[in-house]
């Protein structure tokens, strides 16, 4: 919907962006337009801490009791900052984020 409203072309694909990078997005885009599912708290820490899309800046870590996923692996306590990292690292140096996005949670 954001693409249509803003008169943009785009390639929309279904994926779990924390674990899949279908667009080879690191430093690739002029513009970021997104509607992420904020407030996710079950992202595998071991997966994202190795990914430059997320570890270029700080990965949030729980300073108190670490949350464990069903498999017993440590998870990121709040993935909202992962989305911010993803947007920032996907932009080219001259790129910019959208000021027209409407952020919602599902």
Q: Is residue 74 part of a domain?
A: yes
Q: Is residue 34 part of a domain?
A: yes
pLDDT at position 102 is 43
pLDDT at position 72 is 63
How big is the chain, counted in residues? Answer: 106
Residue 31 token pair: 């513009």
Q: Is residue 102 part of a domain?
A: no
Give the C-alpha separation, 63 to 72, whole Å.
18
Q: Is residue 18 part of a domain?
A: yes
CB 74 within 8 A of CB 45: yes
What domain range includes position 45? 2-97
The pTM of this model reads 0.71
Q: Is residue 105 part of a domain?
A: no
Any residues with CB less than 8 A from the CB of 48 and at least 6 apart, and which?
A: 18, 54, 55, 59, 76, 82
Run means of pLDDT, 10 residues per run, the chain, 106 residues: 79 86 90 78 86 86 54 78 89 73 43
Q: Is residue 80 part of a domain?
A: yes
Q: Is residue 103 part of a domain?
A: no
- Count of domains observed in the chain: 1
Q: Is residue 104 part of a domain?
A: no
């Amino acid at each position: 919907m954001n693409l249509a409203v803003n008169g943009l072309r785009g390639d929309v694909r279904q994926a779990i962006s924390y674990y899949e990078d279908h667009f080879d997005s690191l430093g690739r885009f002029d513009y970021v337009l997104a509607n992420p599912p904020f407030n996710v708290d079950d992202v595998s820490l071991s997966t994202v801490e190795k990914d430059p899309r997320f570890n270029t800046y700080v990965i949030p870590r729980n300073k108190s009791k670490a949350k464990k996923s069903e498999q017993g692996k440590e998870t990121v306590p709040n993935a909202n900052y992962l989305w911010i990292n993803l947007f920032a690292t996907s932009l080219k140096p001259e790129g910019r984020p959208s000021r027209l996005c409407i952020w919602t949670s599902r």
